[in-house]
């Protein structure tokens, strides 16, 4: 009959084997995901044609057209502001940076007759930049890209509502592997710079103030994960957006 120590040793070896198999599986998953995402970024670095067919099918607006454009925070903005007399169109792409957005911006806004453009973008630039140790230069590029979008819109007489960047919530354990807490100070500084873009046709919606109430990070009760919001957060944003949309539409009519 085997001794207890032998049984314990066998159990320990089994546990180590299972742990090693799980670690290998996790490593394989992330390696495959990294390869696929890197390959996709090389093949299709920008998304100018993503909404081409949908844009072509859009009829001429009978009411002021409002385009909600940006990254996954726009994609997940499922609830509409409580306005019944506006034609809202969503043009969000998950994971997109401001550099990528700039390539399709005109086609997906002015190209479909937008009277008001709501822009939510920048968080991906800042997160990626800090993870590479290049947060400041990433922020500078993102600011210039958003400035270009704002100027393109204002130059065509289109109203802009530019959302400040909501900082991330606390990162998950896996994100910690490529995370820098410098992101929080970088977001705060970036938002201060965004306010300089305000003008006669440009309104700043302080999304960070609405959701964080002065806190450094997105509160956990409003966070679906590190970067994304729960429905309650969108309800809070909708209340302020409704006010600004009404003012913007009245201004261009």
Q: Which two tokens stand for residue 19?
A: 């742990």
Query: For 32-81, how does the pLDDT look when each residue is reduced to its tens digit (9 = 90+)?
Result: 655 555 555 554 567 888 999 999 999 888 788 999 999 999 999 987 77
pTM: 0.84
Query: For 175-218, how does the pLDDT look when each residue is reduced to its tens digit (9 = 90+)?
Result: 888 899 999 999 999 999 999 999 999 999 999 999 999 999 99
DSSP string, the chain: ---HHHHHHHHHHHHHHHHHHHHHHHHHHHHHHHHHHHHHHHH-S--TTTTHHHHHHPPPPSS-EEEEEESHHHHT--SPPS-SSSEEEEEE-TT--HHHHHHHHHHHTGGGT-SEEEEE--HHHHHHHHHTT-HHHHHHHHHHHHHHHHHHHHHTT-EEEEEPPPPP-SPPTTGGGG--THHHHHHHHHHHHHGGG-BTTEEEE-HHHHHHTT-SS--GGGBSSSS-B-HHHHHHHHHHHHHHHHHHHHHH-
pLDDT of residue 24: 82
Q: Which residue has the higher pLDDT, 28 or 210?
A: 210
pLDDT of residue 12: 78
Query: For 102-160, how does the pLDDT look when each residue is reduced to its tens digit (9 = 90+)?
Result: 999 999 999 999 999 999 999 999 999 999 999 999 999 999 999 999 999 999 999 99
Task: Quote the CA–CA distance of 81 and 83 in Å, as a whole number.
Answer: 6
């Amino acid at each position: 009959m085997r001794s207890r120590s032998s049984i314990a040793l066998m159990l320990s070896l089994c546990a180590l084997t299972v742990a090693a198999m799980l670690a290998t599986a996790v490593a394989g998953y992330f390696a495959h995901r990294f390869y696929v995402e890197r390959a996709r970024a090389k093949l299709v670095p920008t998304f100018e044609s993503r909404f081409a067919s949908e844009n072509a099918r859009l009829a001429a607006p009978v009411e002021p057209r409002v385009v909600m454009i940006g990254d996954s925070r726009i994609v997940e903005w499922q609830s509409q502001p409580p306005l019944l007399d506006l034609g809202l169109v969503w043009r969000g792409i998950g994971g997109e940076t401001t550099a990528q957005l700039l390539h399709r911006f005109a086609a997906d806004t002015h190209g479909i007759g937008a009277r008001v453009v709501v822009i939510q973008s920048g968080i991906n630039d800042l997160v990626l930049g800090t993870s590479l140790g290049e947060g400041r230069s990433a922020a500078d590029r993102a600011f210039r890209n958003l400035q270009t979008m704002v100027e393109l819109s204002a130059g065509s007489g289109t109203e802009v509502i530019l959302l400040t960047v909501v900082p991330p919530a606390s990162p998950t354990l896996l994100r910690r592997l490529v995370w820098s807490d410098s992101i929080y100070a970088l977001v705060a500084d970036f938002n201060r710079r965004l306010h300089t873009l305000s003008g006669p046709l440009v309104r700043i919606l302080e999304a960070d103030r609405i959701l964080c109430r002065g806190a450094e990070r997105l509160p956990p009760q409003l966070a679906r994960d590190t970067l994304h919001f729960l429905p309650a957060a969108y309800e809070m944003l909708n209340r302020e957006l409704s006010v600004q949309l009404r003012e913007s539409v009245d201004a261009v009519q």
